[in-house]
Structure 1
Amino acid sequence: MSTLGDSLITITHRPELVFAQGQGSWLLDEAGKRYLDLVQGWAVNSLGHAPAVIAQALSEQARRLLNPSPAFYNRPMLDLADRLVALSCFDRVFLASSGAEANEAAVKLARRWGRKHRGGAHEIISFEQGFHGRTLAMMSASGKPGWDRIYTPMPAGFAKARLNDIESVARAAGPDAVAVMIEFVQGEAGVNLADPGFVRELRALCSERELLLIADEVQTGIGRCGRAFAYELFDVEPDLMTLAKGLGGGVPLSALLCKQAFNCFEPGDQGGTYCGNPLMAAVGLAVLDEVCRPEFLAAVRQRARYLAQGLQQIVRDHGLLGERGAGLLRALVLPGNQAEQVVAAARELAPVGLLLNAPRPNLLRFMPALNISEAEIDQALDLLRAALRQVLG
């Protein structure tokens, strides 16, 4: 007798449930149980589950044009690139399908620029505890402990510095260094925020030493931190930026953005079968038109304050260690390594479950839909309290 998932290659531990339907902040499993979702595909579903604007964009574009090949222009590709340029400090856009793919493209572009303008400089400085994707090169770029030993030999050319330690960056910036890749908020590491002063010093160091500053905004971009892009919180302009997750709102879409001075790919240097396909680009346009409205972003900031205040009250009531975050990317620090137990207890609550994420053994991460309501936040906090009582007493 087969068990659930027997035909799938094992890549993670999944609970014994199958989701069948979603709407907004809610998921429904095949048994009919409802779950309030504060994971949203790891910050992917910026507008929640099954938003009408995405369904409409997919339906209309699927009837018109799916994929003419990236060797040709298509209107949604052009319009999405124009929209991203208008919203940001960048001049050029390359569209792809995943965050790892966008980050690979950023590394390629930096190394191409280093070959042309810096005598072959190629080394990328990234940060301990950072996360940039699951390709071999991006695992090398990441600072997740142990990732340098899973698939040895690993690609070379990635040095490590420490977040908020400018001297560690300066030491890592040898003659072969060409770029610094940073997450302004390290999501997988536990929602660790860069210090604004450090970011300003980093921008100055990169300018002084002719290093490209690459902002990995795969998780933080497209409204997640209360602004269109997280770099706006730090009053700096990166040279390159990567986007994914919230850009597609649930479909596979990512982007690399750069300033004109670094637009140095030559024809054939970079590409991909699905890069810039009109189906995904049409969805990206629909998401941007909704999320990047000033009034929508103001509402995200208000919801973020409301959630943070509720989490801070839970910290006081349950004797936890703290709460932190930016916008609607937040974390709760537990007194011990009980995070997975809390995640399981919250999921098993009845009649309504709560979906949480534990990126570290002592930490819970919250990535709700950007349009979650205050009433849903209140319900989530009540469910979280119930799970904490079960696990912590």
Structure 2
Amino acid sequence: MIVGIPKEVKKQENRVAMTPAGAGMLRQQGHEVIVQTGAGAGSGFTDEEYTAAGAVVVGQAEEVWRRAEMIVKVKEPIPEEFGFFRSGQILFTYLHLAAAPQLAKALADAGVTAIAYETIQLPNRTLPLLTPMSEVAGRMSVQEGAKYLESFFGGRGVLLGGVPGVPPAEVIIIGGGIVGTNAAKMALGLGADVVVLEKSAERMRYLDDVFQGRLRTLTSNPHNIASAVRKADLLIGAVLVPGARAPRLVTEEMVKTMKKGAVIVDVAVDQGGSIETVDHATTHENPVYEKHGVIHYAVANMPGGVPRTSTLALTNVTIDYVMQLASKGFGPAVAKDAALALGVNVHKGAITHPQVAEAIDLPFTALESLL
């Protein structure tokens, strides 16, 4: 199969979908890899490294999309890339279609087979291709939140860990999954007072055991959320429903009760956001805005801020699926791997993921009926 790696075009997105090592693995299996020049530069990988791994480096994105049978990306295509879509081509990337109905329709109209990293799900319900980026985003949420708590950025002027004789900051994390757990690790490491709100009793027991009582857990319900939000110096939204729009758990009225200069980091912004006042995504260039006296950080591609770490971590988990698709072809690969099949969001002009279809109000078609 011919696999194409275009350069990412979203603003300040410096990740690349595959390392030279990943390209080399595909070449060893007899596949052709086409990489757009400069695609890896933001992550510290040169064209020469891709060439040494056996890839073909070409100048224009149009040529990568035209020649490749499968396009592997990091972020969802933006409108300027829609013209490259063609029927039967496989697109393998983060899609977040629940928050992008225009993209979903463009993919369906063009006949693209679109597989979303974020909805590939193992039998134990873990999301293997979302996990490494969730780990990065969770850790970055505290790093960025701590920065914007500084008064120079409009924050309260609070140090997360405090100092002897001065209490630490209150970090409230809504969601105890991968993002929330990694945020808690960072916040605890900096000495903050951490509370995690989580709806699963089993997960709360896990967090209590893992952190040996160093953080507090609360059942996630409107009353507890409202009470915790009011006390927060740093509020982290870490809620995800695979394939669906993130639930709005923090209302605007709750945000109005927050301390002036408190900081919100909504990691779920690329799924629509879990905090009502996060009404638009921001960029690394202009990451924050103020509403009701609270600093809002809503960068949709947080791991893009640490692209080398993110690219290495992403290729580690995507390469096996890329190789399955390349070696077996789409039909046999998804027929044999139920987790990969759950990643298929669009095929033959139909929306094939139920949560995506519901979120964007389009008909759902079972993938099995199209194979």
TM-score, normalised via structure 2 length: 0.37
If each structure's helix is expressed as a fraction of its own residues, which one has the higher value? 2
TM-score by length of 1: 0.36
